[in-house]
Amino acid sequence: MNIRVKKLSPAAQLPTRGSAQAAGYDLYACLPQGGITIAPHATAKIGTGLAIAVPDGYFGAIFARSGLAAKQGLRPANCVGVADSDYRGEYIVALHNDTDEDRTVADGERIAQLVVMPYLSVEFDEVEELDDTARGAGGFGSTGE
């Protein structure tokens, strides 16, 4: 599958994979003046300089890069971003600093990973009753630890 990408800045980098079987494509920071510092427990919006045309029936899921999260304490603020197929604006990652120290994101640094995923388009029908299951109305944690 080919996906169309528009560079909104000449400095923007196209998404790349770390290996031939990697599910995620690295997204790169596209920042003026070389970088941005994120204060402890704060969030900053980091642009990628890219607009991406994800095909109908799919969406772009934006996940944390495990190395960045584990080593630098930086992760997407919303944990998983959802970029719908009809969105044509810049892909922006809201990075949150979970540490007690300033963290600097450099221009061109890998900041998140994009996974293109299919979804089901559904319609919701209001009903008076639902079918019974063994679990029933058991809430969060009701199936054990």
DSSP assignment of 73-99 equals: -EEETTSSEEE-TT--SEEEEEEEE-S
Residue 134: per-residue pLDDT: 85
With respect to residue 8, please indicate whether it lies within any of the assigned structural domains: no
With respect to residue 144, please indicate whether it lies within any of the assigned structural domains: no
Residue 139: per-residue pLDDT: 75
* Cα–Cα nearest to 109, from 54, 24, 36, 53: 36
Q: Are 35 and 44 in contact (CB under 8 A)?
A: no
* Cα–Cα nearest to 14, from 106, 130, 114, 98: 114
With respect to residue 135, please indicate whether it lies within any of the assigned structural domains: no
**pTM value?**
0.88
Q: How many domains does the chain have?
A: 1
Residue 62: per-residue pLDDT: 97
With respect to residue 46, please indicate whether it lies within any of the assigned structural domains: yes
With respect to residue 123, please indicate whether it lies within any of the assigned structural domains: no
Residue 15: per-residue pLDDT: 98
Token representation of residue 141: 């944690």
Residue 145: per-residue pLDDT: 57
Separation CA 52–CA 85 (nearest Å): 9
Q: Are 24 and 33 in contact (CB under 8 A)?
A: no
Q: Are 89 and 5 in contact (CB under 8 A)?
A: no
In single-letter form, the type of residue at position 134 comes to A
Residue 118: per-residue pLDDT: 97
With respect to residue 143, please indicate whether it lies within any of the assigned structural domains: no
With respect to residue 19, please indicate whether it lies within any of the assigned structural domains: no
Residue 96: per-residue pLDDT: 97
Q: Find the CATH number of the domain harbouring 114.
A: 2.70.40.10
Residue 142: per-residue pLDDT: 62
Q: Are 126 and 37 in contact (CB under 8 A)?
A: no
Look up the domain containing 97 and give its range: 24-118
With respect to residue 12, please indicate whether it lies within any of the assigned structural domains: no
pLDDT by residue for the chain (145 residues), tens digit each? 999 999 999 999 999 999 999 999 999 999 987 799 999 999 999 999 999 999 999 999 999 998 899 999 999 999 999 999 999 999 999 999 999 999 999 999 999 999 999 999 999 999 999 999 888 887 776 666 5
